[in-house]
Amino acid sequence: MDEEKKRKEDCPLCDKIEYSYQLIGKKWIGLIIHTLLDGPKRFSEIHAYIPDLSKRVLNERIKELEDCGIINRNVIPTRPIRTEYSLTIKGTELGKALVPVEQWAKKWL
């Protein structure tokens, strides 16, 4: 039995844990989540908060986070039509889990 297969059998949560680290380890994901912790934001507001992030990559990351159930896209039927992004319950809990990392960064980096 190869080592990786045995590890996965011994640790049924390993795939989920590894996936979560891959997701939050992607560039800009943490900052996007941090930005939305304060409440819903429009695409332009998120981009203004993270100006080094290209609009193309921001769009990709938002789509990934939507697909994972971390971000909710809300279309507001006003004139003009507005779209806001907010954290789901799942996303809010992830954001709260990342706060200690932010505190560590402030202290040590």
Number of domains in the chain: 1
User: How does DSSP assign 19-79, residue by residue?
Assistant: HHHHHHHSTTHHHHHHHHTTS-EEHHHHHHHSTTS-HHHHHHHHHHHHHTTSEEEEEE-SS
pLDDT digits (tens, 9 = 90+) for 20-77: 999 999 999 999 999 999 999 999 999 999 999 999 999 999 999 999 999 999 999 9
Please tell me the predicted confidence (pLDDT) of residue 4: 62
pLDDT > 90? residue 2 = no
pTM recorded for the entire structure: 0.84
Provide the residue range defining the domain that includes 15: 11-108
Q: Write the CATH number for 93.
A: 1.10.10.10
Examine residue 2 and state whether it is found in any structural domain, yes or no.
no
